Structure 1
């Protein structure tokens, strides 16, 4: 009996297989869940954000005769939020299985608007928190109601800086066909001769866009808290600090996860090149993390009006009066941010000064007798 075994057929086919693009059943289920949950989340944020910011603009329009510096900053923040909300339907469509189907022009616009909202939000909050801290220092204030020109210059400078920082998005964002996923994606693509701009643009975003402004916000808020604990400030200044601090905290909570994930993706990024064009291609886990954290950042556009309703009593009263079609002639600050507003005299402090002055006069009269 012949016991020989022919193994030539077993080892002859030694082809190698690439499993990098292989997707398991769990991946299909996860992508299906993302394709439903993220569009629903964007839709809810769009409805709440449009209602909240629309109501905010209506209140500002009703108050246009008594415009304050705080109103100017709130208006610019609301405009930035409305721009971001206008892009949510496109991103909701991209989150589905169809991918990006709106062309390269809208891809560039949507990416630029996303970063403009973030830059505008963090830079304007730096201006507001810095003015709040300086107002706690005696005889020091950044903005003044008597000279509102500096506030307008600050807001215009913020918008100009945002547009400059988003130039890389307008240039390198394109609608790229990913053959591995069989769909078109809105990603950054660079030619081989301009590949170094990828690192330069990321460096500018991480340093000028996030790390330095976030450090400034944390330092200002820490100084405000220390100042409030050590000194007995007026009630108006304390209210302003109690409005500014939650606004900064919520902003950082919404946007910091995305920026940390983006920093990790910068150091671990992998690129995919075709025809002398290199497109960003992060790992599968980083892609999911960027989707979730960017959605969290977009939600902040609908949270800001809710924060105003919860923190600013005058804004709440004016809103209820407008909904009831009643007239509210109050000229007090709606936002209680204290930006550009002179602190009102503290009645308790005035009473103590008057008491001390009368006691001194009584002592002088008694000594003369």
Structure 2
């Protein structure tokens, strides 16, 4: 669940009926009473609801548009678009949770215990699914280009469908702590909050969940993307296809965007773990980390607004689909033949793409499939 929406992360209590304390760092009671964070709490109550609302509006509109275009125009046999479809669904489910957290931070949790648990589970599942499907898309392009595996064979398609199932299952397994520990709690002053209560093992669980997020949500996907796109880049440099420079820029942009969105947030989580272990024990440092976490978390959450379109617009074919869809909505079509508004078949799309002056990452995969010369070259390269 969002670091800033739960009770341990953004809570007001009234010890000795005198002061507000910001219980963020999961430290012991003595440290909490000493390190007052009224300013951090006030900042979060204004900053986070605004950011969560923007993410909800932009993410909902963008991913709905992406979903409609994919369902209406994209051939089902193209696995990259199937990963993109699942990414759009995952992002939609993720942004649906944002209004709940915004209200919780600005006021209190007013939605009851069932929605507390349901929204927390939904958030965690789709938080990880969004990252996993990005990794799957890089893996798919790696197999198409480096290993020249055709998209129309049954085995690669079955493998991709199996991988999609594994992604959703893994994300569901990761959300087990939310299923078990998250519930609505009422403070002594009658304010309700939604958070995970780990009892006497709170610090251990928080450290474990942060390490899990650092590893599964950032480090392993980043290393996988670097490996896949590096190998793709080697093939591009050796084969020198038309549009080689653009394809290399696209690959670099995808990796850099992932790093810039997620590295600050994961670094801040790691530093908070050091704080919990009392390696960093300064109250001023704790204040700075609290502010930093709110900002970097918001940056990371914005991935659901921008990342899908970064991947979608890396494909010239998808841009044609989007243009056809917008033309249909705005009644820009001049010809009555509806066939022109629909995408060509897979083989026709591949041949048309092969004649483009500039190719993207997605079209290059099709070129590798249909061009036996390139396929042979790739086999020699692997040998």
TM-score by length of 2: 0.69
Deviations, residues 238-291 of structure 1 (Å, cap 9, x unaligned): 7665545433432332122222211222232279xxxxxxxxxx9444333332
Counterpart-to-counterpart distance in 2, 1:289 and 1:59: 37
Deviations, residues 15-62 of structure 1 (Å, cap 9, x unaligned): xx99626456xx1xx644543333222222222222221111211222
Q: Does 1:153 align with 2:162?
A: yes
Following superposition of structure 1 onto structure 2, how do residues 213-232 of structure 1 map, counting pairs within 5 Å? 213-229=221-237, 231-232=238-239
Counterpart-to-counterpart distance in 2, 1:232 and 1:308: 23
Say which of 216, 219, 244 aligns to 1:211.
219
Query: Aligned residue for 2:98?
Result: 88
The alignment yields a C-alpha RMSD, in angstroms, of: 3.7
What is the number of equivalent residue pairs in this alignment? 314
Q: Unaligned 5+ residue runs, structure 2?
A: 1-18, 20-29, 279-284, 334-339, 354-359, 375-383
Q: 1:322 to 1:268 in 2, by over 3 A?
A: same
Q: 1:313 to 1:242 in 2, by over 3 A?
A: same
TM-aligned CA deviation for residue 303 of structure 1: 0.8
Q: Does 1:190 align with 2:198?
A: yes
TM-score by length of 1: 0.71
Query: Aligned residue for 2:14?
Result: none
Counterpart-to-counterpart distance in 2, 1:189 and 1:125: 31
Following superposition of structure 1 onto structure 2, how do residues 44-193 of structure 1 map, counting pairs within 5 Å? 44-63=54-73, 67-96=77-106, 98-137=107-146, 140-141=147-148, 144-147=151-154, 148-177=157-186, 183-192=191-200
Deviations, residues 166-202 of structure 1 (Å, cap 9, x unaligned): 21122223334456x9854433321237875444444
Which has the greater radius of gyration? 1
Deviations, residues 104-138 of structure 1 (Å, cap 9, x unaligned): 4333333333332332233222222233234443x
Query: Residues 37 and 287 of structure 2 are in contact (CA less than 8 Å); yes or no, is this contact kept in structure 1?
Result: no
Query: Residues 131 and 339 of structure 1 are in contact (CA less than 8 Å); yes or no, is this contact kept in structure 2?
Result: no
Counterpart-to-counterpart distance in 2, 1:233 and 1:135: 16
TM-aligned CA deviation for residue 320 of structure 1: 2.4
Q: 1:131 to 1:239 in 2, by over 3 A?
A: farther
Say which of 298, 322, 343 aligns to 2:368.
343
Query: Residues 128 and 244 of structure 1 are in contact (CA less than 8 Å); yes or no, is this contact kept in structure 2?
Result: no
Query: Residues 99 and 183 of structure 1 are in contact (CA less than 8 Å); yes or no, is this contact kept in structure 2?
Result: yes
Residue aligned with 1:38, SS: helix
Query: Aligned residue for 1:317?
Result: 320
Query: Aligned residue for 2:34?
Result: 20
Query: Residues 254 and 297 of structure 1 are in contact (CA less than 8 Å); yes or no, is this contact kept in structure 2?
Result: yes
Following superposition of structure 1 onto structure 2, how do residues 233-312 of structure 1 map, counting pairs within 5 Å? 233-235=240-242, 242-269=249-276, 283-308=286-311, 310-312=313-315
Query: Residues 125 and 172 of structure 2 are in contact (CA less than 8 Å); yes or no, is this contact kept in structure 1?
Result: yes
Deviations, residues 346-367 of structure 1 (Å, cap 9, x unaligned): 7999xxxxxxxxxxxxxxxxxx
Instruction: Please say which of residues 194-203 and 147-156 is displaced more in the overlay.
Output: 194-203
Q: 1:194 to 1:66 in 2, by over 3 A?
A: closer
Counterpart-to-counterpart distance in 1, 2:190 and 2:265: 26
Instruction: Please say which of residues 83-92 and 185-194 is displaced more in the overlay.
Output: 185-194
